[in-house]
Chain A
């Protein structure tokens, strides 16, 4: 490769590059291992010159490893969903071709939609107006043309499944969707609480509980304040032990007997610790 072609990499490091050049360079770099290596080495030399702490090893190549690990992750574009509710659709008046489809809802409504309808995911129509990133899909035409369920794949690819199939099939789950399916199953299961807090501040009583396959959440209230107690197997928690406050709420996490207990509420750390210490398996 001619030396000159690395010059934009150097300029990009310094933030001295125009947006169009940046876009072109990212595309070039993604397909060129030599450019990627150059980018990494320029930064390494810069870090050393400026006295920063760096790990030096000829075996360090996180770029390839992370890139491979992210192969199955979705690209972040606005993902749209297709709500499939056949009962409703039968009663829905026919749309004129000019009328924009009302079936497509933004990602923000996904949680609600997942609980009541099947969802089908499409990677299309991003926040970005940059059409150079990849092909976009005319969703209305897709629906019209297929009269079936657009079927989600990562990225911008689309395939369809016949409408004669009464159960929409999602080939691949978008990242984070499994939790909604699990939540739905958990709600249906309506399991009894297997844990209880044996000490609570005066006036508090249990309002509700939620049991999932991994954790159990108990919500207590005295009519004004609320306290939730989350119990999960040790190792599955995402936090370390300790106390964090946010606005009026305090979260207190502690491990005990192979479980991790988190108490959240507008209570003091002492009260939260006392509640957590009182958690036992229910005797019912």
Chain B
């Protein structure tokens, strides 16, 4: 995950859910759905099955949320629930879960020792590769101030304040540049999801 700010926003969303705002959970689902489905896809190779288990994992997470105290990051906690849900699913169908759990750090990354990219569906991998290329192209074509702001944020995990010092501009300008860069990417990404 990308640093303290990311964990902080999760913490705030979790707190909102715990305080009774169920809708805040939608944002957590929206944020993590693709990662959780990919994680569960390492246990079951059928996409529909992975979707069902992912849904079950999120529902279990919601039900367990009152007991979540924030000792670990929300994603780490959600990841454990997803893994256990996948394993229970396999056991309940008489299939043997893997003996070794997937490490949370390995599970997140596309490339790695476990060659995660081999485990996705061919269509999924193809779409992903295309989107990867599109995003790189958009980044290359962005005006330099937008590209630098987004790069410092996404790859260096810098706060808006730190970026504003480096770029010698107000924090509000950083916020706007990052947003405009994301919008430029989103404009090219969204057709892949329709």
A51 touches B110 (CB 8 A): yes
B127 touches A53 (CB 8 A): no
For B189, the chain A residues whose CB sits under 8 A away are: 41, 44-45
Q: B124's contact among A44, A45, A56, by CB below 8 Å, is which?
A: A56
Question: Nearest residue in B to A58 (C-beta to C-beta)?
Answer: B193
Docked pose: A75 CA to B160 CA in angstroms: 34
With A40-B33, A133-B20 in contact, do A60 and B51 touch (Cβ < 8 Å)? yes
- Quote the shortest CB–CB distance from A157 to chain B (angstroms): 13
Docked pose: A10 CA to B39 CA in angstroms: 25
User: Is A148 part of the binding interface, using a Cβ–Cβ cutoff of 8 Å?
Assistant: no
For A75, the chain B residues whose CB sits under 8 A away are: 20-22
With A41-B189, A56-B128 in contact, do A46 and B97 touch (Cβ < 8 Å)? no
For B131, the chain A residues whose CB sits under 8 A away are: 45, 48, 56
B20 touches A76 (CB 8 A): yes
For A133, the chain B residues whose CB sits under 8 A away are: 19-21
With A13-B9, A58-B193, A75-B22 in contact, do A240 and B88 touch (Cβ < 8 Å)? yes
A50 touches B2 (CB 8 A): yes
For A19, the chain B residues whose CB sits under 8 A away are: 12
Question: Nearest residue in B to A132 (C-beta to C-beta)?
Answer: B21
Known: A7-B175, A50-B2. 20 other contacts (CB 8 A): A27-B23, A40-B30, A43-B32, A43-B34, A44-B189, A47-B35, A49-B135, A51-B110, A53-B109, A53-B116, A54-B34, A54-B128, A56-B127, A57-B47, A66-B29, A66-B59, A73-B59, A76-B65, A128-B20, A175-B63
B residues adjacent to A (C-beta < 8 A): 2, 4-6, 8-9, 12-13, 16-27, 29-39, 41, 47, 50-51, 54-55, 58-59, 62-63, 65-66, 84, 87-88, 91-92, 97, 107-111, 116-117, 120-121, 123-125, 127-128, 131-132, 135, 139, 153-155, 159-160, 175-176, 178-179, 182-183, 185-186, 189-190, 192-194
What are 12 of the A-B contact pairs (CB < 8 Å)?
A14-B6, A36-B26, A40-B30, A43-B30, A44-B193, A45-B182, A62-B51, A67-B25, A126-B19, A128-B19, A133-B21, A134-B20
A residues adjacent to B (C-beta < 8 A): 3, 6-7, 10-17, 19, 22-23, 26-27, 29-30, 36, 38-60, 62-63, 65-67, 69-70, 73, 75-77, 126-128, 130, 133-134, 175, 235, 238-241
